[in-house]
Amino acid sequence: MSQTFDTENETKTKDSKETPGCENKESYCKLETVTRERSQYSPGLSILKKAILLQCIVYISLPVILCLFPWILGHVVFSHWLRIPYLVDLASPAELSLNHTLNFYLSPEEGISLGVWHTVPDSQWEKAQGAGPEWYSETLGDGSPVIIYLHGNVGSRAINHRVELVKILSAAGYHVLSLDYRGYGDSSGEPSEVGLTSDALYLYQWVKTRSRTGQICLWGHSLGTGVATNAAVKIQEQAMELARERARDLRAVTQADLEPSYAADGVILEAPYTNMEEEVASHPLSMMYQCLPGFQSVLHHVMRSNNMVFANDENLKTLTTRILFLHAEDDNVVPFYMGQKLYQIALQAGRQRYAEDQVHMVSYSGSLGYSHNYIYLDPNLASVVGRFLQSKNNNIAQQIVR
């Protein structure tokens, strides 16, 4: 009896010793079951994690790529490689109903050829038929104002809104010279701020030698506003230096002697930006990176590496010529506030010279839908420009809201 009892106790003791092992085994089995159940949902979670990781990599890599290859941003800003409209013969402006327009080429420096259109006033349409370069060149001295049109980025001088503006200005009695900067349209070379400014300055000087006493106005649109103010500052500096040289041995020269008469006759800025860095920073894509630490420094580095400043805000502080701003409130490329800011800068600079009457702005309500490229649709645009060009000796209203 005692042996049997002891045997049973030993068996129970053994069972009790094995029990913890069984419990561990059961726990392991439960854990394996839960893990297996969770694994059924892991493919979806894994894809989501990978997608988020990919977005983070792309988000962070873009500034890094721009920092390593700053020329990419330069190509985006200039967008000269988008040669729209396609299938257009720039050598035949008559195909675009510019049948009193001469296509010709200028060479501002060795290896660079610039495509230019010269559209005469509508009143000379009949005489222009069959006329050659010599006749067109001589017409620049007929006393009619000359407008040098400096377009924005993307495409050539043949884009529709540019052609339509030329037609309106021609109908209003102006000569219009439309320039494709180096790298644009059928012009050779690669664009840069220095290069574009040099092209505009060369065309201005070419016109100046032929226009005699006629007015010459620089009209810049979007990217071209920076080109226009750059060129206007250069024109002013060169003219003032020439005046100093001529007067050095004759009499003392004051700043007042050198200013208005030696500046360009006028500058029209359509959809202008403050400077290129601020314009790029205001782009929706750039706005996504404003919260990324160091992005502003990266952007500044990239812009300087490309030598792209286009500082309209700084140029307007020194310009002494008449200035007209045209900007639509619904501009979706260059924010309207930039045009307002530039107007205030120019106005303040004018006040310091007692010449604030030379600064004018026309604002277009967003309800008109003119946006960035369609201010030419304003039925009163020709009269606005006419009053501006006639305001050399007359004061006109400074700011007009349409």
In the residue annotation, 331 being an active-site residue is answered as yes
For residues 148 and 126, the answer to whether their CB atoms sit within 8 Å is no
Task: Name which of 37-41, 187-191, 250-254, 264-268 the model is least confident about.
Answer: 37-41
Q: What is the pLDDT of residue 68?
A: 76
**194-216 b/e (C-beta count within 10 Å ≥ 16 → b):** ebbbbbbbbbbebbeeebeebbb
Interval 109-124 mean pLDDT? 97
> Which of 238, 233, 226 has its CA nearest to residue 191?
226
Q: CA 93 to CA 160: how far, in whole Å?
A: 12
Of residues 331, 360, 363, 378, which has the active-site annotation? Answer: 331
For residues 193 and 77, the answer to whether their CB atoms sit within 8 Å is no
Give the confidence band of 350 by pLDDT, cuts at 50, 70, 90.
confident
What's the gap between Cα 147 and its chain centre? Answer: 20
Number of C-alpha atoms within 13 angstroms, CB side, residue 7? 4
Of residues 180, 211, 372, 378, which has the active-site annotation? Answer: 372
- Six-digit token pair at 289? 């990176």
Q: What is the pLDDT of residue 1?
A: 46
Mean pLDDT of the chain: 85
The answer, yes or no, to whether residue 100 has pLDDT greater than 90, is: yes
The answer, yes or no, to whether residue 21 has pLDDT greater than 70, is: no
Q: CA 380 to CA 314: how far, in whole Å?
A: 30
**345-370 b/e (C-beta count within 10 Å ≥ 16 → b):** bbbebbeeeeebebbbbbbbeeeeeb
Instruction: Please report which residue ranges of 172-321 form alpha helices under DSSP H.
Output: 193-211, 223-247, 255-258, 276-281, 284-287, 295-305, 312-315
Give the confidence band of 397 by pLDDT, cuts at 50, 70, 90.
very low
Q: What is the pLDDT of residue 17?
A: 46
Count of Cβ atoms closer than 10 Å to residue 289 Cβ:
17
β-strand partners of 115: 105
324-338 pLDDT per residue, tens:
999 999 999 999 999
Give the confidence band of 47 by pLDDT, cuts at 50, 70, 90.
confident
Q: What is the pLDDT of residue 73?
A: 85
Candidate CATH numbers 3.40.50.300, 3.40.50.1820, 3.40.50.150, 3.40.630.30; the one for domain 77-401: 3.40.50.1820
Phi, then psi, of 361 in degrees rounded to 5? -145, 140
Interval 373-391 mean pLDDT? 95
193-248 pLDDT per residue, tens:
999 999 999 999 999 999 988 899 999 999 999 999 999 999 999 888 887 777 77
Number of residues in the chain: 402
Q: What is the pLDDT of residue 13?
A: 47
Q: What percent of the chain has pLDDT over 90?
A: 61
In the block, residue with structure tokens 């800003």: 77
Give the confidence band of 159 by pLDDT, cuts at 50, 70, 90.
very high
Q: CA 166 to CA 122: how far, in whole Å?
A: 11
Higher pLDDT, 116 or 26: 116
In the residue annotation, 75 being an active-site residue is answered as no
Q: CA 266 to CA 233: how far, in whole Å?
A: 12
287-324 pLDDT per residue, tens:
676 666 767 777 777 888 888 999 999 999 999 999 99
Phi, then psi, of 118 in degrees rounded to 5? -115, 110
Q: What is the pLDDT of residue 386?
A: 96
Task: Output the pTM of the full model.
Answer: 0.81
Q: CA 274 to CA 278: how far, in whole Å?
A: 7
Quickly count helices (H) and strands (E) in the chain: 15, 9
Q: CA 284 to CA 208: how far, in whole Å?
A: 41
- Six-digit token pair at 42? 């892991």
Q: What is the pLDDT of residue 254?
A: 54
**Which of 106-110, 278-282, 397-401 is modeled with the greatest confidence?**
106-110
What's the gap between Cα 185 and its chain centre? Answer: 17
Task: Name which of 4-8, 90-94, 303-307 the model is least confident about.
Answer: 4-8
3 state SS of 265: coil
Q: Are strands 359-364 and 399-401 parallel, antiparallel or unpaired?
A: parallel
- Six-digit token pair at 305? 């590496």
Give the confidence band of 402 by pLDDT, cuts at 50, 70, 90.
low
> Which of 97, 307, 105 has its CA nearest to residue 196?
307
DSSP 8-state secondary structure symbol assigned to residue 384 = H
Q: What is the pLDDT of residue 65?
A: 76
Q: What is the pLDDT of residue 27?
A: 59
Preceding peptide of 260 cis, ω within 30°: no
Count of Cβ atoms closer than 10 Å to residue 79 Cβ:
16
Of residues 156, 222, 363, 378, which has the active-site annotation? Answer: 222
Q: What is the pLDDT of residue 394?
A: 44
